[in-house]
Every structure is written in structure tokens, then in C-alpha cells.
Amino acid sequence: EDQVTQSPEALRLQEGESSSLNCSYTVSGLRGLFWYRQDPGKGPEFLFTLYSAGEEKEKERLKATLTKKESFLHITAPKPEDSATYLCAVSFTGNQFYFGTGTSLTVIP
Amino acid sequence: DAGITQSPRHKVTETGTPVTLRCHQTENHRYMYWYRQDPGHGLRLIHYSYGVKDTDKGEVSDGYSVSRSKTEDFLLTLESATSSQTSVYFCAISDWTGRDYGYTFGSGTRLTVV
């Protein structure tokens, strides 16, 4: 049973076209939800941690939000350099993280 | 990736041979992890360590063993490699001391078992 589901699997946007990526989870007792960015041939790069419903965090054109059962990664006016795979992970034990399969984002100039 | 290196970056090996992957950190972090990444599965935890000689299994530990004799090194061994272990392997570290205890990942090892 999947603990973390990300949607869509792939997303193509025109430069400047804002959108959102979704991460839904089924674990109870969430300790933290994490967003990562992964470029081809590289390891994931940490973006945000969210701990409780209603929490929001921002970094440049990215904004992450959290509800009781899902998180959104909002991308405002994306640029081609934002093209990457975005991974979501959840932790409920503290030591183990469950990752989604990611959303592959392509931003077209 | 500053502070964490994996070796080798690429390896091709034959079925049935033992293989060891190395993860080295310079951050003095307590926690170290081995993940594998496969299409359609995302990142899955193999083993992790919470200190020297302290290790535990993750969700896909069968066929793998680990060792941590020094804080800075975490080794992953495939005792007898199989084709199903063809994957990209990532090491990660975490210090768990700050508010945002996200992982720092290495650049990965691409392993092909033929």
C-alpha cells in the first residue's frame, strides 16, 4: 500500500505559467513532510520541511503548504531552470522516510 | 554534494559476485542511510545507521548488509548480486539537531548487474 502518492507524474508548463504539484499521504501520526528537487544524474536536494497542517514555507518561486492529508508545491512564474523532478517524502517514525515517485516538471521557454 | 561522497559512481558487475558501495561524509552526522531508486518505486530505504556499529533494516533490506566502523563511513554490501539489484543507490546523511532535519544526499552510484 502506497504511503505517499504524487500527482501529476509529469507536468509541462510554459515559462511564467504558474501551477501546483500534489503530494497526498496515508500515514497517521505525521512527524514531517519533506520536499526535494532532483536533477538528472544527481541526488535529491532538500527544499522544505513541513510539520503541521496550515504550515507554509517559501523559497524563491516555490511555496509549500500542508493540510491533514496532502501537501502542495506551488510554482509561481516558473523558469526553465525550475525543470526537475520534485519528490515528496513523509516521516512518521522519525527515522524512516517514505518517498513518492515524484513529479517530472518541464518548463518550456 | 558538499560533505558526502559516494564511490564508485558507476559499476557493472556479474550475477553472483559480491559488491561493496561506499559512502563517506565529512559532516560528522550521526545518521546515515542507504536508499535505492527505481522507476515507478521512488526511493526505498535499504538500511540506516544511527551511530558507529548501530544499524537497522529498512523496507527493502533482503540481500544487503551494511557496516559502520567509523562515523564518516557507511558501507553497503550486496553479498551475491542479482539482476534485481540493478539500480541507482543513494547515500544520505542527517543530523537531526536542527528544526529542519532534511537529508543531504550523495550523487549516487549506478549499479548494473549482468
How do residues A83-94 score in pLDDT, each as one tens digit?
Answer: 999 999 988 765
Query: What is the pLDDT at residue A3?
Result: 84
Instruction: Flag whether pLDDT at A5 surpasses 70.
Output: yes
Q: Is A30 on the interface with B (CB under 8 A)?
A: no
Query: What is the pLDDT at residue B40?
Result: 85
Instruction: Flag whether pLDDT at A41 surpasses 80.
Output: yes
Query: Measured in Å, how far apart are chain A's first and last C-alpha atoms?
Result: 38
pLDDT band with cut points at 50, 70 and 90 for residue A95: low
Q: Is B86 on the interface with A (CB under 8 A)?
A: no
How far CA A61 is from CA of A72, A74, A79, in Å, comes to: 13, 8, 9
Judge contact between A11 and A19, C-beta under 8 A.
Answer: yes
Judge contact between B55 and B49, C-beta under 8 A.
Answer: yes
Q: What is the pLDDT of residues A63-85, one digit of tens each?
A: 999 998 999 999 999 999 999 99
pLDDT band with cut points at 50, 70 and 90 for residue A25: very high
Q: Is B56 on the interface with A (CB under 8 A)?
A: yes
- Nearest C-alpha of chain A: how many angstroms from B30? 12
Q: Is B107 on the interface with A (CB under 8 A)?
A: yes
Q: Is A96 on the interface with B (CB under 8 A)?
A: yes
Query: What is the pLDDT at residue A57?
Result: 95
Query: What is the pLDDT at residue B16?
Result: 97
Query: What is the pLDDT at residue B83?
Result: 97
- Nearest C-alpha of chain B: how many angstroms from A69? 20
Burial (CB count <10 Å: 0-12, 13-18, 19+), residue B106? buried
Q: Mean pLDDT over all residues of chain A? A: 92
Chain A, chain B: beta-carbon pairs less than 8 Å apart: 58
Q: Which of A38, A46, A47, A103 to mutate to test the interface with B (most CBs of B within 10 A)?
A: A46
Contact A46 B56 (CB under 8 A): no
Query: What is the pLDDT at residue B23?
Result: 98
Q: Which chain A residue shows the shortest CA-CA distance from B56?
A: A95
Least Cα distance to B92 among B79, B76, B104 occurs for B104
- Nearest C-alpha of chain B: how many angstroms from A64? 14
Contact B102 A46 (CB under 8 A): yes
Below-70 pLDDT ranges, chain B: 1-2, 96-101
How far CA A66 is from CA of B4, B10, B17, B97, in Å, comes to: 30, 37, 45, 23
Q: Is B48 on the interface with A (CB under 8 A)?
A: yes
